[in-house]
Structure 1
Amino acid sequence: MIATERRTTTKALQRIRRILDPGSFMEIGEHITARRTDFYTPEKVEASDGVITGYGTIDGCLVYVFSQDGEVMGGSFGEMHGRKIHHLYRLAIKTKAPVIGCLDCSGLRVEEGLDSLDAFGQLYALQAEASRQILQIMAICGGCSGGMTVAADMADIILSDSVHLADQIRTLIDLLPANTSQYPEQRPCSDDLNRQLSELEKKRGDGRGILNELSDEHFFFELKQCCGRDMVIGFMRLNGAVVGGIATQTIASEGKISPEGFEKAASFIELCGKLHIPLLTVTDAKGFEGSLQAGRLVKALTAASVPKINLIAGEIFGSAYSILNSKGVGADYVFMWDCAAAGLIESLQAVEILYPQGELAFLQKRAEDYRKTHCSPMALARHGYVDKIIKPEESRKFILGAFETLADAGRCHNDLW
């Protein structure tokens, strides 16, 4: 009989204990080991086969968790390793509880060949099924190579290893519904609902700063900070309710939105739509790159039946205006700062096209006329493209009030189905 041993203080187990409520973790499948093959005939094997699986609670809420051990068999993913995660997913889907994965994997286990490949295939299928029903969070805690990169990408939220990883996961579980049949919980708000934001206008171009100022107690949980830096996404609270915040970060991009920024925003909108989380967009852009990715963003916005509010907080021109949560693509309310501008093209460019032989003084005069009639907040409001022109410092009270009118809209829409 092959001897087995178990390291009880592995990093994999320590991660789980830091994430879950003290004493709540129940491990399952701890005696499972890798199967012997023609190329794997050890005298002694390690129990758990490189992944610890089980369930526990976060602030009393049930979650299922797996944590990979990169020190077992080189951190490879094998058949029995995969089966443990498959079983965990089936339980999570059945109980409608979130899955949390702590990833530390070097990829496929060569000793097992096709059995390892098949285990990955089954995992992907279960993740696809789960994506329609429950929340999936993946935290990269070490290596993440080969087929495990696909598994990570299929999750709703991906986190990178940091000293605050456990706190981040616990915060997300507190913020988000466990499954698609639940709605975010509204918490009491101690912040002033009418708080004046006297310095907000100075943050034009800094979408991250604007979202942070608007949110209750300046709370903003940002996601995917390292990619698509021209777009900011994350969760915030407004009057205690969870809202998905999306903002252009033009100070990082000279006013243009990248394909990565569009992809980042589109996937976040899809997540918010799935979890019934309202959306707030803060828009300020003079152009973009990547029409395919822009199209995906439009599809995501129009498909999301949640309440959607747009704040035009800078200068936005051309198709970027249409794409970024305009009335045309379904925004419920659009607010515009009295110092902002929007239009087909900038005023001077427009009159240079209209009057190619015009002298500079004439063009400057006509540009000012064009701005007033086509690009100013009043011009958009007169055409019904803006619901209200507001001062930057009053943004919080108007946005909170608008979301309050839509508080039951998403729930009622889904109840109809």
Structure 2
Amino acid sequence: MDKMREKIRILCDQDSFEEINAFVTSRMSQGVYKQNSMGDGVITGYATIANRKVFIYGQDFTFCGGSLGEMHGKKIAHLYELAEKCGSPVIGLIHSGGARINEGVLALDSYGHIFRKNVELSGKIPQISIILGPCAGGAVYSPALTDFVCMVENQSQMFITGPKVIEVISGEKIIANDLGGTNIHANSSGVCHLVRESEEEMFHSIQQLLEYIPQNHQEYPRNIEYIGELYNEMLEACIPYEKNKTYDMRNIVLELMDNHRFFEIQATYAKNIMIGFGRVGGHTIAIVANQPKYRAGGIDIDASDKAARFIRFCDCFNIPILTIIDVPGFIPGQQQEALGIIRHGAKLLYAYAEATVPKISLVVRKAYGGAYVALNSKSIGADMVFAWPTAEISVMGPQGLQAIMKDTKNSPDSDPMIAASYGLIDEIINPNETRRKLKSALMCLQTKSNPQKHSKKHGNIPL
């Protein structure tokens, strides 16, 4: 347990961690349980990180493989109850083989209580899971219900069933990293949100993440005083003159953010869309941006899911959303259709239309077809929409129009002035003035109300 306490101390402000329920033991504390059974394999308590109160639990893999028993689970559920009362984030340091087999249904019952707390407090307090080693069964489902899942390279693994059980059942031999390591969950499954090379780097990143999110759903993200320059002449050079030439959207995002600081989430998953946090003129903001470097920035199934979930998190915790648009459309093709691009793309539409936080859009190059509508258009509910002179807004791209229309001379004009004349764009702005315009818009929208239009329980998002 001492090693886990040391990890918690590294994560938190110096000497701030206060442990609770340290003397809890399992009712089965005999035999293998008797030695070192105090605390039942999990440390729980509260601390501060950058002077912000957080509640923390850490599972000790040296005690029964970090498995969750009845009292182990009750300690975690109790911690969630305290966090709810205090309106503070919960951070889990997770290293567990899942339910403790010796305790049978009592262990399963405790997992059920934790899952319910994960769901009850979803959208009320931020929940962060840090995976510090192999985790299986219920030890991966609870993190999957939290807001951010964080993994350490060559150390963290997540899987429903471990390699040994798989080999017994199917005869398949596979190592833990290939089954559920960071390569799988950060690049392919989308389960993981942050990956770092070491625990120390991960703990530092968690400290940074907490700078951008509020304590709970009734608070607002922290803005800081910014006295730097808002005019940025570098922005104009970020987009190539040739309309079909690719470029790195990350350069635009970095130039827009204060001090070129952008905290990216899920950086290696669905790379055709970028999400993350930053600040403009001291104002905390969430960014959703197409990435032309990958799949031309088109929207596919994974990009839809990635962006939609992030938008819903930001809406829960009152974080304004900036959408930077350069999109050729939803990615077509038999594979995408068969896998459900219609259903998944609808999640993105739903998330934007449902969100009530300040929503600002910036069209920097192309915005075509349904993807233009889906990415926070005025009709979906954008509060303010800006466009650079390089913007093109059309029902589809030139190639699509040529395939459908015989007379392309009479095809719809994509000039942003057309959309502006209909009130679909608020202003066509010089790229160098973008930071100033965004700060002004954020200041204006600070007092935006959160209207409750319907007395329904909730909508039915197309999951």
Alpha-carbon offset, residue 251 of structure 1: 1.0
Alpha-carbon offset, residue 342 of structure 1: 2.0
CA distance in 1, matches of 2:273, 2:359: 17
Q: Runs (4+) of structure 1 moved beyond 4 Å?
A: 40-43, 202-205
The match for 1:16 among 8, 24, 30 is: 8
Query: Is the CA contact (8 Å cut-off) linking 2:54 and 2:90 kept in structure 1?
Result: yes
Q: Could you say if the C-alpha distance between residues 207 and 198 of structure 1 is closer, same or farther in structure 2, counting changes exceeding 3 Å?
A: closer
- Whichever residue aligns with residue 9 of structure 2, its letter is R
Alpha-carbon offset, residue 276 of structure 1: 0.8
TM-score (norm 1): 0.88
1:266 partnered with 2:308: yes
Alpha-carbon offset, residue 347 of structure 1: 3.1
| Counterpart in the other structure of 1:94 | 85
Give the CA RMSD over aligned residues: 2.2
| Counterpart in the other structure of 1:257 | 299
- Whichever residue aligns with residue 376 of structure 1, its letter is D
1:390 partnered with 2:426: no
1:320 partnered with 2:358: no
Query: Is the CA contact (8 Å cut-off) linking 1:37 and 1:111 kept in structure 2?
Result: no
| Counterpart in the other structure of 2:151 | 160
| Counterpart in the other structure of 2:251 | 209
The match for 1:280 among 322, 327, 350 is: 322
Query: Is the CA contact (8 Å cut-off) linking 1:37 and 1:112 kept in structure 2?
Result: no
1:129 partnered with 2:129: no
Alignment of 1:389-408 (within 5 A): 389-408=428-447
| Counterpart in the other structure of 1:3 | none
Identity of aligned residues (%): 34
**212-221 or 28-37, which moves further after superposition?**
28-37
CA distance in 2, matches of 1:35, 1:230: 51
| Counterpart in the other structure of 1:4 | none
Alpha-carbon offset, residue 181 of structure 1: 1.0
Query: Is the CA contact (8 Å cut-off) linking 1:279 and 1:307 kept in structure 2?
Result: yes
**202-211 or 105-114, which moves further after superposition?**
202-211
Rg larger in 1 or in 2? 1
Query: Is the CA contact (8 Å cut-off) linking 1:335 and 1:389 kept in structure 2?
Result: yes
- 1:192 partner SS: coil
**15-24 or 200-209, which moves further after superposition?**
200-209
CA distance in 1, matches of 2:220, 2:239: 33
The match for 1:112 among 73, 78, 103 is: 103
Alpha-carbon offset, residue 395 of structure 1: 2.1
CA distance in 1, matches of 2:274, 2:348: 14
**5+ residue gaps, structure 1:** 1-6
- 2:106 partner SS: helix
Q: Could you say if the C-alpha distance between residues 393 and 193 of structure 1 is closer, same or farther in structure 2, counting changes exceeding 3 Å?
A: closer
Residue deviations 1:301-340 (CA, integer Å, cap 9, x gap): 1111111111112222221111111111011111112112
Alignment of 1:144-293 (within 5 A): 144-161=135-152, 162=196, 163=198, 164-196=201-233, 197-202=235-240, 205-288=247-330, 289=336, 290-293=341-344
CA distance in 2, matches of 1:252, 1:49: 47
TM-score (norm 2): 0.80
**304-313 or 373-382, which moves further after superposition?**
373-382
| Counterpart in the other structure of 1:49 | 40
Residue deviations 1:282-308 (CA, integer Å, cap 9, x gap): 111222251212111111111111111
Residue deviations 1:177-221 (CA, integer Å, cap 9, x gap): 101111112110132122333432249653333222101111111
Q: Which has the higher strand share?
A: 1
Number of aligned residues:
393
CA distance in 2, matches of 1:205, 1:334: 22
**200-209 or 135-144, which moves further after superposition?**
200-209
- Whichever residue aligns with residue 56 of structure 2, its letter is V
| Counterpart in the other structure of 2:179 | none
**54-63 or 160-169, which moves further after superposition?**
160-169
1:300 partnered with 2:337: no
Q: Could you say if the C-alpha distance between residues 43 and 382 of structure 1 is closer, same or farther in structure 2, counting changes exceeding 3 Å?
A: closer
| Counterpart in the other structure of 2:182 | none
Alpha-carbon offset, residue 352 of structure 1: 4.7
CA distance in 2, matches of 1:41, 1:145: 21
Query: Is the CA contact (8 Å cut-off) linking 1:200 and 1:392 kept in structure 2?
Result: no
Q: Could you say if the C-alpha distance between residues 37 and 50 of structure 1 is closer, same or farther in structure 2, counting changes exceeding 3 Å?
A: closer
- 1:294 partner SS: helix
Query: Is the CA contact (8 Å cut-off) linking 2:21 and 2:75 kept in structure 1?
Result: yes
Q: Could you say if the C-alpha distance between residues 88 and 352 of structure 1 is closer, same or farther in structure 2, counting changes exceeding 3 Å?
A: closer
CA distance in 1, matches of 2:203, 2:29: 37
The match for 1:311 among 362, 382, 387 is: 362
- 1:385 partner SS: coil
**5+ residue gaps, structure 2:** 153-195, 331-335, 456-463
